[in-house]
A and B are shown apart, each in its own frame.
Chain A
Amino acid sequence: MEKKRKKALVKGNEAVAMGAIEAGCRFYFGYPITPQNEIPEYMSAHLPEVGGTFIQAESEIASINMLLGACSTGARAMTSSSSPGISLKQEGLSYMAGSEIPGVVVNMSRSGPGLGGISPSQGDYFQATRGGGHGDYRVLVLAPDSVQECYDLTMLAFDMSDKYTNPVLVLGDAMLGQMKEPLEFKKYQPKKFEKKWALTGAKGRKAQFLKSLYLDDGELTVHNWNLFAKYKRMKEDIRYEALFLDEARLVVVAFGSMARVLKSSVKMAQDEGLKVGLIRPITLFPYPAEFIRETSLQVKNFLAMELNTGQMVEDVRLSVEPGTQVDFFGLPPGSLPAPDVFLKEIKKVYPE
């Protein structure tokens, strides 16, 4: 297996699968959809080698519910898909959040709406960060911007999921899933999670259950407040990357593959003497709102850039101090242009 080596040139999708197995994922359930098929293919080849189980399910609905079942026993398990398939998983995700069952879901998103296309897009930002399914819940969302992060953040996703007994979503896109980069393998450091809630049969203890149904007076109110408190606690795991913020006069905010391309654009701007910084949220939920607010105390101009017609920009606007100028540049699905195209857009809003 490739794991034995220290480094390898792999696709983002393979890195996700490798990270999952390294983190102890032993069950995978999925349904084919481009552009993430390398994940199930890798899992089908390599899970059996570590005593794990791969099931090609009859649908994304079945996959998420198999995940719900496997994770309810305390096992580490994963499902992956791309946008239309993630839509189908939303009911199950809502049940998992409501029943407080961990589990890792990967969305190597494609473009929509509908069947859309297989080009990179960030059109699923709202779905990912606002819960996605019915009811007042959230999932922790991790957004890699490189093959290495596809690996690292998938590993992290399992820990976060167990820490908060909540589903965690890894949100990549067609570009990240398909591109090849050198990946440095890391040894997963297992953490201890006590899973007293796990369903293993009522042997030597009282019977227990996992459910989201609360019918007694006031019960559901309490449950929702408890979930809310948990989502607030997640803030201690906020992650982001910040570049060139010292002396910045304009801060670009972008995530995922868009941020990756923009790193070059921002460097080009710096080379031209423009003081342009970059904030890349890595956790999309919880959002690094406080860091952006603090930054806006120094910098009065922000530019949100996304591969959609304006989703994350709302979170930037909610984060900044009043009086901060937040511009937006968005690209609906199609192609991902070269860094110099974005440099032009940056220059358009760069403060005089």
Chain B
Amino acid sequence: MKEIKKSWKNIPIGGNILEAGNSKNYITGTWRTFIPRLDKEKCVNCFQCWMFCPDNSISIVENKMVGFDYDHCKGCGMCVSVCPTKAITMEKEEK
């Protein structure tokens, strides 16, 4: 997403950022070289990956691990290493 840089007249004073959590609009997914993939068959929804993902990139919907937030996943592989059933694997990302 290309961000439009604003004039000093149109930004809050003091450097305050008024929209909490707006880093979700910043894409860190481009940092990846390896990408995690989920095998839903193997996943037992233990949510270990959710707990240990540093980038809040494990998507949980209705108590089920459904995949990854690829906009923000940096491909660190931690989810792979904590998954007890080997339901997640890393593969080289084609860009």
**A-B interaction:** no
A contact residues vs B (CB 8 Å cutoff): none
